[in-house]
Structure 1
Amino acid sequence: MSIEHDREAPRVLSSHQAQIALARLCDERPTGTDREQLADTIWPDGPPSTWASALRSVVSRLRAFLSEESPTSLEPQLIARGGRYLLQLPEGAQVDVDRAESAAVSAAAAYRDGDHSTAQRLATTAVSLLRGPFLASHEGEWVDSVRARLKEVLVSALETASGSSSALGDTHHALRYADEAVRQAPFRESAYRCQMTAHRLAGNRAEALRIYQQLRTVLAEELGIDPSPESEAVYLGLLCSPRSMPPLPHQPVSSHPPS
């Protein structure tokens, strides 16, 4: 967790507990965060018996950091109101997680509209913002839920980046992003379909067929199911002669990441 001003190096919040508090307060800016929920997030194994005063101490450290690292006219406001804490960021401030989710949604919309260049640019922006782990040294129910949400956004953005790259004839990046999508979500059929599409467009028909067999094996051995009709259609298309193969369909990515 850090704050970065234009043309300045990021300033890192050293307190681990204050980092966690800032992350949740940023994520829940529209409604604010209940102070008991904030305490449970900071101390997932159980808050101390004097958790109320301990939480006030964490919030005080966070307020001091925000005040120190921001120009007076642009200082974020951390307000206590009705048993909740509300973080108000100055106009123009951006949160990387918000930027990533917005870019992924816009990329998916551009892809559906056939604007593949814009889709590729926005999707790769989302991917670059989401590659780092979210609060890597902390565990807990809230952190796990955010990680799951951001992973879904990341994989969707990887699929969009791969699909738009394929549409642009950029087979190198199409394969790169599809491979990463499969690594991130090894049971996600749409990621395998991106791989098959990219390999076929690169002229690697045999490799595309191998990917389908890999998908089939993974689903059978791990989940006891067969590939979906969409994946089966891609496979049947690959079995056609090269001259008669129809275009491979892309799985539409979600434009609404789960909350």
Structure 2
Amino acid sequence: MTPTAERVLAFLALARRPVRRHQLAGTLWPDVTDRQALTRLRSTLWKVPAPQRAALVEADATNVSLHRDAGVDLYALDDDVPADDDGMVDAPMPRGELLPGWCDDWVLVERERHRQLRLHALEDRCARACGAGRFADALRAGLEAVAQEPLRESAHRRVIEVHLAEGNSAEALTQYQTFRGLLRAELGLPPSPAIRALVRPLLGRPAD
């Protein structure tokens, strides 16, 4: 598969729907005329070996799309992962960013969407596992969310909640103080009332 063909397939996969030929060609080859862009699109598609092309792409005179039977792992990550009876999700969650090194606008938008969904999924997994008393699993998910985005307060709150549920007050305070220091150093902001309220009973005074 040539790099250009990879870009065509990536665009079609992220579009999740049939794309008009003019739109696809104009997006991938914006620096040439429409006719030249369409010619390049046709050439790129036909350079894909026929068996692969038949399994990956559907095209007519107007639209191009990913084949309806082609599997895209990203789509599975968009679905809600069902929990078992204990509220724990056993399926591993892939790490890393979407299409690393690609700087196209159409990639950046999808990359941020995927990042946000993954962070929410990690926080949700943390809360479910904590509610089921599976604290190690909860911490694993919560700390992964913190590592992904250290300034994300909701991730720190989840980790603090796990420590409190375990009765580890010192750990909860350490997590809060780490976040407070990071937030002050990076943004010059105080923690929100929501996270301060979590640790206030531990301090016996208002949390700053």
Q: Where on the TM-score scale, by shorter chain, does this alignment land: which range?
A: 0.7 to 0.9
- 1:57-206 aligned within 5 A: 57-62=43-48, 64=50, 65-67=52-54, 70=55, 78-82=58-62, 84-90=63-69, 94-103=71-80, 117-118=86-87, 120-121=88-89, 125=91, 128=93, 130-206=94-170
Task: State the one-letter code of the partner of 1:96.
Answer: D
Q: How many aligned residue pairs are there?
A: 201
Cα offset for 1:154?
0.8
Cα offset for 1:189?
0.8
1:212 to 139, 155, 176: 176
Contact 2:26 2:37 in 1 (8 A): no
Task: State the one-letter code of the partner of 1:54.
Answer: R
Unaligned runs of 5+ in 2: none
2:41 to 55, 75, 94: 55
Say yes or no: does 1:225 pair with 2:194.
no
Partner Cα distance (1:61, 1:153) in 2: 35
1:196-229 CA distances to partner (integer Å, 9 max, x unpaired)? 1222334431121111122222222322332222
Contact 1:199 1:208 in 2 (8 A): yes
Summarize the Cα distance change of 1:102–1:183 in structure 2 as closer, same or farther, 3 Å threshold: same
1:127-173 CA distances to partner (integer Å, 9 max, x unpaired)? 62x42432224221111111101000111111111111111222212
Partner Cα distance (1:41, 1:239) in 2: 56
Q: Give identity over the alignment, percent.
A: 32
Summarize the Cα distance change of 1:59–1:141 in structure 2 as closer, same or farther, 3 Å threshold: same
Unaligned runs of 5+ in 1: 1-13, 71-75, 241-259
Partner Cα distance (1:102, 1:63) in 2: 32
Say yes or no: does 1:16 pair with 2:9.
no
Q: What TM-score comes out, normalization by structure 1 length?
A: 0.66
Contact 1:39 1:47 in 2 (8 A): no
Contact 2:97 2:115 in 1 (8 A): no
Partner Cα distance (2:57, 2:38) in 1: 20
Task: State the one-letter code of the partner of 2:74.
Answer: V
Partner Cα distance (1:116, 1:212) in 2: 31
Contact 2:160 2:176 in 1 (8 A): yes
3-state SS of paired residue (1:117)? coil
Cα offset for 1:48?
5.0
Partner Cα distance (2:8, 2:46) in 1: 11
Summarize the Cα distance change of 1:27–1:239 in structure 2 as closer, same or farther, 3 Å threshold: same
Contact 1:20 1:41 in 2 (8 A): no
Which has the higher relative contact order, 1 or 2, with Cα contacts under 8 A spaced 6 or more apart? Answer: 1
Q: What TM-score comes out, normalization by structure 2 length?
A: 0.81
Summarize the Cα distance change of 1:232–1:97 in structure 2 as closer, same or farther, 3 Å threshold: same
